[in-house]
Structure 1
Amino acid sequence: MRQLLERHVESGLVPGAVAVLARKGEVHVVATGRLAFEGVGSSTPMAGDTICRLGSMSKPIAAACAMTLVEDGTLRLDDPVDDLLPELAKMTVLTDPHGPLDDTVAAQRSITLRDLLTYTLGIGMVPAQPGTVPIADALDTLGSPSPDEWLGRLGRLPLVHQPGERWMYHTAADVTGVLIARATGMSFEDALRERICDPLGMKDTAFSVGGESMDRFATAYERDSAPSGAAIVEDTPDGRWSRPPTFESGGGGMVSTADDYLAFASALLAGGAHCGERVLSRPAVTLMTTDHLSAEQKAISGFWPGYFDAMGWGFGMSVRTRRTLLGPSVGSYGWPGFYGTAWYNDPAEELTTILMMQRAHFGDQTLPIWHDFWNAVYQAIDD
């Protein structure tokens, strides 16, 4: 593992990386490189407490927080969210997903919390070239205003598909964050801290980085390098995560550390508790990590044909349904993030694996770097 990570650092792909493997009570942390190629952080070693942008690895945390509200009776999985999210009540649905925004029919039913957690509310990312698909262009203009304004803008758009019909990525996690805030009467971040982060000791998991922790915040880089080969900075430590955001995005707005995320992952692997602190019941964790997509939904969903051939979707995370490579077993669950982060729990192997890097678009699990990483993890199992 160290040789693999050092190879990527020496190649100039990333300035540093940290991997965590935890199995049967043993925890191995492999860190190499620095927080930045040059400037602030270039002399600071990567470590388990290095603060990184999670990207979409925040989605499982948002889902877990929502489940705490189900467990205490504040929310129900199959109740409409209309009362708390009136902006999404009585929605319309596009007649043609690629057609004009005013060609719609009425939604056949209300959106539920289950729809939000399984990403089947009827709207989400629509990959398309600008100017080719009206709903994709409209979604790109939502921006990051206050949660109320954001949800109002979303509610004024039609759904792309009927609620419950098919999986659509990302937007559901942001809606879940607004729902949690309204259900608890506090900000989404405060709800996360009270229900997930503080009980598990996740002190560096938040939507921004405080000044006292800035020296542990890694620099993020663009996917592509300059013509000279030098990496291009995408976000510096004093950039957009250095101040509290107007919109706290459950879909990708959080920062954390490998150490913090290990506490969250360990709690799920242990059935909802870590170091004596329980945040969820074992049945709740089982429900979260069960594949909830039907064969019909998988056949018409995903970013490309066959996207769900070997995986399904639980609550805010993927679930492995077929083993095709040297990697996570059937029943494993977790998710990667935009900036080159990934986490998976493998209950069959009693294994948690986390990797943190900070390069845009490098969470894509089809990249060769990830095949090499999972090979390194799983060939090391020796029992």
Structure 2
Amino acid sequence: MPESSASLRQSLQAQVDAGWCPGLVAGVRLGGRREILALGSYGFDDPRPMDAQTPFRIASLSKLMGGALTLSLVADGTLELHDDVARWLPELAGLRVLASPETPLTDTVDARGPVIVRHLLTLTAGFGLDFGQTPYAAATRDFLWGPNPPGMTPDEYLARLGGLPLAAQPGSRWMYHAGADVLSVLLATASGRSVGELLAERITGPLGLTRTGFPTGSEQLPAIYEPTENGLVEAAGYRDAFAAPPRFESLAGGLVSTVPDYLTFLAALADDTLLPSGLREEMTSDQLEGSQREGFTEMAGPEESWGYLSAVQTGTGAGWSEPGMWGWAGGSGTSAAVYPNGDIGVLFTQRFLTGPTDGFDYFWEPLGAMRTARP
């Protein structure tokens, strides 16, 4: 093993040895060469060793697959980016908008235009996670955001969403998460296929991703742990939510995958073998402007922005990163990114993130050193 690769393994092993999590799996592609590192066990009380084929809940890394799936329907003409989503989702027609973010839900004005497909991809539709203590936050936080996919059918979800005003004018502000769930329903309705069928036909099947998709209930998932004041505690409900096929097939956070599968998916995107190059470039380029960035900056900081269901680095960033990187992270402890030259890093862990300041420098810093040391 090259010295630089050994340093990456040592850094990952140190996290496991320190009890940061019981196990993890990482994958890299540098200069076209791939390597998978699996360390530790399925749980503190589960001695089964992690391996390359260990399935993980990938949480919000599902969003990148949702972006690619949507753009595949744009490529074949099923959708257009500026289509009014009410064409397929009538619950989202004629929506009202809060007069200001803090006002009661009854204080509304007319929407200045419709919610379009592009708004869902850029998370600027006007609905989503509200970090404040507002009436809108109180009315939506239990179903527009959470560690698990919506615990209701798509019809129930849309009826509830359509019965509320938008928090912001369509296209005016980035708001996290919910646009990807609405997009999941839209894709199924517009295509006449379930999201799982679309994913198998357009992404997992063509790429040979045999261990990626929505849960069936038969997956042997590792334990997931939540940091508390008393140490790590297993979040049993988080794993239980994937013990059966979902009522709601969520591209916001509902997929299961392995590190080799996800690495293959990112490589196909980066190499323009999954989407036409122009659409992939749009997906992985900054698509926000002006006040749209305020919500994203609140979550990720000023040196990142958002494309189509993928973050995009716009500033200098950390020493291991560079402008033009794209990817994202998942709340269950997953992270993945692609460098402008096509190098890739993927890390799946078992530890919930506690907030946007949590990071994976113990993975990305030695990976950056590997890139620097490469001839």
- The equivalent position to 1:176 in structure 2, one of 183, 186, 210, is 183
Unaligned runs of 5+ in 1: 274-278
In structure 2, the partner of 1:297 is: 292
- The 2-side partners of 1:255 and 1:335 are apart by 16
SS at match of 1:178: helix
Q: 1:35 to 1:122 in 2, by over 3 A?
A: same
Q: Deviations over 1:105-150 (max 9, x none)?
A: 010000111111011101110113xxx4111111134352110110
> 2:139 is matched with which residue?
138
Counterpart residue identity of residue 254, structure 2:
G
1:187 shift after superposition: 1.5
Query: Partners of 1:378 and 1:295 in 2: how far apart?
Result: 31
Gaps of 5+ in 2: 1-7, 144-149
Q: 2-side partners of 1:147 and 1:188: how far apart? A: 11
Q: 1:99 aligns with which of 88, 100, 103?
A: 103
Q: In structure 2, what is the equivalent of residue 276 of structure 1? A: none
Q: Partners in 2 of 1:141 and 1:355 — Cα distance?
A: 28
8 Å contact kept, 1:53–1:358: no
Superposition CA RMSD, Å: 1.8
Q: Are 1:165 and 2:198 counterparts?
A: no
User: Are the aligned partners of 1:339 and 1:357 in contact in 2 as well (CA < 8 Å)?
Assistant: yes
Match of 2:318 in 1: 325
2:130–2:141 contact (8 Å) kept in structure 1: no
Q: Does 1:195 align with 2:202?
A: yes
Partner of 2:361: 371
Task: Give the counterpart letter for 2:174 in structure 1.
Answer: W
Counterparts of 1:140 and 1:31, CA distance in 2: 35
Cα distance change of structure 1 residues 267 and 134 upon mapping to structure 2, 3 Å threshold: same
1:2 matches 2:9 = yes
User: How far did 1:90 drift?
Assistant: 1.0
Count of residue pairs brought into register by the alignment: 360
Contact (CA 8 Å) 2:32, 2:343: kept in 1 or not?
Answer: no
- Amino acid across the alignment from 1:316: L
- Paired residues of 2:296 and 2:305 also in contact (CA < 8 A): no
How do 1:73-112 residues align onto structure 2 when only pairs under 5 Å count? 73-112=77-116
TM-score where L is the length of structure 2: 0.91
Which residue of the other structure, out of 268, 272, 275, is the alignment partner of 1:280?
275
Q: In structure 1, what is the Cα distance between the partners aligned to 2:110 and 2:238?
A: 46
Aligned to 2:3: none
Query: Equivalent of 1:224, from 228, 236, 242?
Result: 228
Q: Deviations over 1:72-91 (max 9, x none)?
A: 10100012111101111111
Contact in 2 for aligned 1:219/1:236 (Cα 8 Å): no
Shift of 1:310: 0.7
Alpha-carbon distance in 2 for matches of 1:77, 1:337: 26
Moved more, 42-51 or 67-76: 42-51
Matched letter for residue 235 of structure 2: E
Counterpart code for 1:205: T
